A and B are shown apart, each in its own frame.
Chain A
Amino acid sequence: MAYFQIDKLVKYFGGLAAVNGVSFEVGQGEIFGLIGPNGSGKTTTFNMISGYHRPTSGRVLFQGREIHQLPTHKICHLGIGRTFQVVKPLGRMTVLDNVIAAAYSRTNSHHKAKEEALKTIDFCGLMPVKDVLAKALPIAGRKRLEITRAMATRPELLLLDETAAGLNPSELVEAIDLIRKIRANGTTIVIIEHIMHVIMTISDRIHAINFGQTIAEGTPKEVAANQAVIEAYLGTDYA
């Protein structure tokens, strides 16, 4: 039994199939990359895993348990955290309060929540801006806040949706370091990423989809050499 598994996941919006029969398995402790061109169904897949969309058919299994009918907040309590591609900071709360709100998912005590939040903020390197309002953060800070907040819910599985987009090269290096640090901490990661250099460096395995369907899966090297993947990204002329 796989640690985390999606099984023939299908999602129709109206008559349009956004995801059409995607399956993959993720092992515990893995960094698993999910790639595909724009509109290929990556974020929709994430939304189904985290309970924002109900799959039209198919299953999502976490530690052997079916979770695709559960509401989002229950999925969070089961230990699946996520970040959003379009960041969703709690704008008029400070960074610390954002993270405290997240830490409350594991405790009812303010004292404990604050302690946990400070620990997570320190771990993710946001200490210098902890008292800044979330809406005042630059984009790199907001992306990092997304990760920090998700981490404060103490996830066993973390879904990262394009956390590297919009970062400059030095910020990219920091982001990669942080993701590695999170994995070293024992968290399994599924990551959507557009920046090839990033996903190829950090992923153990990569799953490529296009038009809602699987086109390749394997190690970064195998996927990068895959004909279908190259076609999907560059068009048939370059293949």
Chain B
Amino acid sequence: MKKSLPPLVFVALLAGLPLIMKDNYYLHLMILFLMWVVIGSAWNLIAGYTGQVSFGDAAFFGCGAYTAGLLATHLGVSTWWGLALGGFTAIAVGLPFGWICFRMRGAYFALATLALNEVLRHGATIAEDFTGGMVGILIMPSFMSKIPYYYIALALAVASLASLQWVVRSKPGYYFVSIREDQDAAESLGVNTHLYKMLSLAYAAFWTGMAGALYMNYMGFIDPNVVFSLHDISIMAILVGIVGGVGTVYGPAVGAFVMVAVQELFRSGFFGLFKWLGAVSGSASLVKVAEVLTQAHVLGFGILVVVVILVLPNGIVGDWPKIRKRVFRLDAGA
């Protein structure tokens, strides 16, 4: 029971956060962070634990988002139904797909997930009558305040982490890792590798779909290029996983925090630091720096991707001993 204390304290702190933090901007970032905890953990289960790297998480994210959006536009029901159904839609898309792909080993799954996402993105674009095409879907948000969304996101994040924790410590968790480590050996130990890969995919699809449905509810607007985005969703999910630590329970949570913060750091020009400096000092060159930085935020993000993978291949949690040694000059063994 002692072990579960720090996470509980942490969750309690997060639950109390809106009481202190009234600023909508930071609350927005926190909601994004919690959403990425859900997506990152889901990716981590299938990629980090089962070893089947998905490059198309956006496919499941988009399924969830569109489930919520389409229910609202066509049936006129609340988008919150999407939160109940989004995960299952993603499973319904994911399972037949996995059944085909998992027959083959190697890079096929990774490639096929990429393709699945592209198919769905084009599909959503072309089927204008059904999905609204490029125009997307716009709904009225249920709440004006961000606080309810914050708590829903928090609940999802906690539930997904708790379920991940439970899964990796039980039979499926052992089977997932043994598939990652050696598929032949796993088969010889009685693991139905095809079935367990599908289970792992279903889990990942479910939670990613839930996150998508949350996104639809919270943002109130989706279009194919937003929710089926390779860079902003699929690759971001991978980065969250890698930055935090592949194959660790809390890694993606750390990764989500770092990635959302860093992305925002670039997007906002270091939270307006240079702009402010420029305004204070009256230096035109600093204002210029601020402009350039904001313009080049995707470039900065790209460079970050390269540097992170090069320097921390196992992520912050996975490479923690290395970081401690280098940065804090502490002996990892101590």
A interface residues, Cβ below 8 angstroms from B: 50-52, 71-73, 76-77, 81-82, 84, 88-93, 97-98, 100-102, 104-105, 108, 110, 113, 149-150, 152-153
Chain A residues with Cβ below 8 Å from B186 are 90, 101
Pull 26 A–B residue pairs with CB atoms less than 8 Å apart, ordered by A.
A50-B188, A52-B184, A71-B187, A73-B187, A73-B191, A73-B193, A76-B190, A77-B190, A84-B188, A88-B184, A88-B188, A89-B182, A90-B177, A90-B178, A90-B181, A90-B185, A91-B181, A92-B247, A93-B177, A100-B174, A102-B190, A105-B191, A110-B170, A110-B171, A150-B189, A153-B189
* B188 close to A92 (CB less than 8 A): no
A-B contact count (CB 8 A): 77
> Bound state CA distance, A96 and B319, in angstroms?
23
- The main secondary structure of chain B at its interface with chain A is helix
Q: Chain B, 156-181, contact with A by CB distance < 8 Å: what is the 0/1 string?
A: 00000000000001110011011001
Q: Does B295 reach chain A (CB closer than 8 Å)? A: no
Q: Does B192 reach chain A (CB closer than 8 Å)? A: yes
Given contacts A89-B182, A90-B178, A93-B177, contact A104 B171 (CB under 8 A): yes
Chain B residues with Cβ below 8 Å from A97 are 174, 177
Number of interface residues of B (CB under 8 A): 20
> Bound state CA distance, A108 and B173, in angstroms?
12
* Least Cβ–Cβ distance between A49 and chain B, in angstroms: 11
Chain B residues with Cβ below 8 Å from A52 are 184, 187
B interface residues, Cβ below 8 angstroms from A: 169-171, 174-175, 177-178, 181-182, 184-193, 247
One of A72, A110, A149 near B187 (C-beta < 8 A): A72
Chain A residues with Cβ below 8 Å from B187 are 51-52, 71-73, 76
* A92 close to B181 (CB less than 8 A): yes
> Bound state CA distance, A69 and B248, in angstroms?
38
* Least Cβ–Cβ distance between A46 and chain B, in angstroms: 10
Most buried by B among A77, A82, A89, A101: A101
Chain A residues with Cβ below 8 Å from B169 are 110
> Bound state CA distance, A90 and B178, in angstroms?
6
| Chain B residue, CB-CB nearest to A78 | B190
Chain B residues with Cβ below 8 Å from A113 are 171, 174
* B192 close to A71 (CB less than 8 A): yes
* A101 close to B193 (CB less than 8 A): no
| Chain A residue, CB-CB nearest to B188 | A82
One of B171, B181, B192, B247 near A73 (C-beta < 8 A): B192
* B188 close to A101 (CB less than 8 A): no
